[in-house]
Structure 1
Amino acid sequence: MDAERPVVVVANGFGDHLLVLPAMRALAAMFKDRLRLVCAPWAADTFFHSLPFGEVLVMEKLRRSVAADGRTVIGHDFDADPLIGKLIAADLVMVLHPWFSPSLQQLLDGLAPARSIGFSPGYDESLATLCGQHWADRAFQVPRLLDPSLQIDDFAFAPEFAEESCRAAQAVWRQIPTTMRVLVVHADTKNEKMWLAARFARTIQRFLAYHPEFVVFVVGTSNTLRELCRFEARVIPCFGFDLATSMALVGRADLFLGIDSCMLHAADLWRVPGVGLFGPSDPAEFGFRFAPHRHVWADGAMTEIAEHQVIDALESLHAANGKTPRTRRPFGARSTPHSS
């Protein structure tokens, strides 16, 4: 905590930035305006919009680093030299993502901070990555190492987005009568983490048949679900928006249904009750952490998830949490964090 020129580094998938958001908030509060952020070019404006960084530096020529097989992604490489020149005299470097690469080693060697913290043997202090530990809790080990009194729930509140994204989301919500309730669905991501579109559509169809008070917002990039569902008048495609607007749409939902992705993590921080579908990834590490939820886990291929499992999870969650409409907070308003 006595560092004068601290630096925090993060670069990973979209959803990973939401997983580390509580840790990032804690560090920004701890170091006030002197914390410098190193990140992907798109990350600060989208995920860390309201945090008081002293400076934001982007990783130039950021690209995936692959293993010897030419296919397996093991991290990222970037141009370290410009960062070394701008971060001279950094005395504490904290890295919130799990990967380590030659570029990251070059950055650490060039800066030679008095202290470095991360999740691999390449740092002065290498933090444990316990099997089955949620990644939000793993990342939060970094601020807790500096101040053991910190609690993740104090920093795990809803994301805050730029005003233009909030206005765009508000315009969509104004089209929905206040008597209707909303299930937000997110179905598209990497192929291996997607559920079959036909099963998704049939599940939505059954849910809408049971619940005439609901409409469905489909966020993402694919219109397939609306085309497959006979309740198409109550399935509203929300495509073509920037990422922040889509996540803001999620934040006002009564229920969420989706695969392992950034939208699920957004729903979690918004405390939207949700059902998460998992195959190759472990929901204990990448699923819901804060909101009421159900996980359906195939522990392998997504094709192993049956429709009845998902509709049962949705109905169970709705019965436990979904009968009373959620309070529609103004867009950009901070939610009250709590454990669940």
Structure 2
Amino acid sequence: MTKNIIVTTRAGLGDVLLITPALRAVKECYSDHKLIVYCLKKSHREVLLNNPYIDSLRLLPPLYLWRYPYHLFSYLFNNSRRQGHFFDTQKLKHYSMRPNAIPVSWLYNKNVKEVVPELFSDLDVRLENKNVQLFFTKREEAKARHRLAPYRNTIIMHVYSRTSVNHMWSIEKWEALVRELPEFTFIQVGMEDEPRVKGAIDWRDNKMGIRDIFCLLKYATSFVGVESCMGHATNAFGLPGVVLFGDTSPVHWGHDNNINIYKNVRCAPCFHHLNGDPCPYTHECMRLITVEDVKAALIRQVNVQQVMAKHVSVHQPADY
């Protein structure tokens, strides 16, 4: 009899990205089980499309879940329990994934990607690959290359976070960064209601879906932005980027492909205490990050990417 492992995605896009290494580990460790993922939002499903480690990807709304009443019951039961608990029978295990709700006492000095497998509390899940997992079609990749082809030294920029106002750096500093690096092409992505950075190419809500934006990262020179889903997505491609941290810590939410700028002031990290509410002090954690800090880090990462690109071209077989 086929056994089902059912996962429900919750919270934001960044949380969905951060569970992808664990989903891969679950499938690799339990290849004889069927891994079913229910998505709370359509955007969650877009992030997980084409993932070869997921056997069935479904939307969560009751309109769809009524087709699977047993799964619906387990989901409702699971919602009444604490994070990481599950409804368990011999045929089905149901896990609710919400990394940003993990109590800070669980984290210590571990990255969230390393903690997520522990939410599969009764499964022996070994995390061999810690990278975020994103998979695109050839058509999606061709579109991304075509969009970026006219530009040189492309820097994908994302300056806004819907998770916490304390993630934000001032627009004036973003604009100063663009002015001081005219040799780079800054392309701002995000939603249309997010603040615009003057001097950057404006691709906010440019009729692109979230998959199109993530795919740009695969072919860009670098990335710069606040801690958000975009910074997490860079990890899928090993893209050398620069991420600014304020109320969260790069120990928990950062990736080793990025330079994570963090001032570690006395009151930080405070994300789990404030839960997105505005800083009651002076937002010192982000104010202390200077334009020069970000500029120097970005130049360094662009140089790293250029060296990587030369290494790939040297070792690429010639076409005959």
Fold-level similarity (TM above 0.5):
yes
Alignment match of 1:290 (pick from 234, 247, 256): 256
SS at match of 2:202: strand
Unaligned runs of 5+ in 1: 62-78, 94-99, 121-125, 331-340
Q: Give how far 1:261 is off.
A: 0.8
Name the one with the larger strand percent.
Answer: 1
Q: Is the 1:22–1:152 Cα contact (8 Å) retained in structure 2? A: yes
* Equivalence for 2:154: 182
Map of 2:80 onto structure 1? 102
Paired residues for 1:88-167 under 5 Å: 101-102=79-80, 129-142=106-119, 146-147=123-124, 149-153=126-130, 156=131, 159-167=134-142
Task: Determine the C-alpha separation between the residues in 1 that align with 2:144 and 2:24.
Answer: 24
* CA distance in structure 2 between the aligned counterparts of 1:203 and 1:242, rounded to whole angstroms: 27
Matched, 1:315 2:289: no
Q: Could you say what secondary structure the match of 1:159 adopts?
A: coil
Is 1:36 aligned to residue 2 of structure 2? no
Find the partner of 1:202 among 176, 181, 188: 176
1:9 aligns with: 8
TM superposition shift of 1:217: 1.5
Given candidates 246, 249, 257, the residue that maps to 1:279 is 246
| 1:60-98 deviation digits (Å, cap 9, x = unpaired) | 16xxxxxxxxxxxxxxxxx997376143998xx9xxxxx
Alignment correspondent of 1:236: 201
Equivalent residue number for residue 317 of structure 2: none
> Does the C-alpha gap of structure 1 residues 320 and 145 become closer, same or farther in structure 2, counting only changes over 3 Å?
farther
Structure 1 residues 145 and 30, CA, compared in 2 at 3 Å: closer, same or farther?
A: same
Q: Deviations over 1:194-227 (max 9, x none)?
A: 222122111221233xxx2x2111111247544x
Asked if 1:327 is matched to 2:309, the reply is: yes
The answer to whether structure 1 residue 220 and structure 2 residue 190 are counterparts is yes
Change in CA separation of 1:317 and 1:195 when aligned onto 2, cut-off 3 Å: closer
CA contact (8 A) 1:294 1:317 kept: no
Counterpart secondary structure, 1:5: strand
Counterpart residue type for residue 309 of structure 1 = T
Shift of 1:50: 2.3
TM-score (structure 1 length as normaliser) = 0.67
Instruction: Give the paired residue count.
Output: 281
Aligned to 2:228: 261
Matches of 1:260 and 1:225, distance apart in 2: 17
Secondary structure in 2 matching 1:87: helix
TM, length-normalised to structure 2: 0.71
Per-residue CA shift, 1:264-305, capped at 9, x if unaligned? 001122212222122222332222x23141323463648532
Root-mean-square deviation (CA), in Å?
4.0
| 1:44 to 1:308, Cα distance in 2 relative to 1, 3 A | closer
Specify every segment of 5 or more residues in structure 2 that has no aligned partner in the other structure, as ranges: 271-278, 313-320
Change (3 A) 1:149 1:131: closer
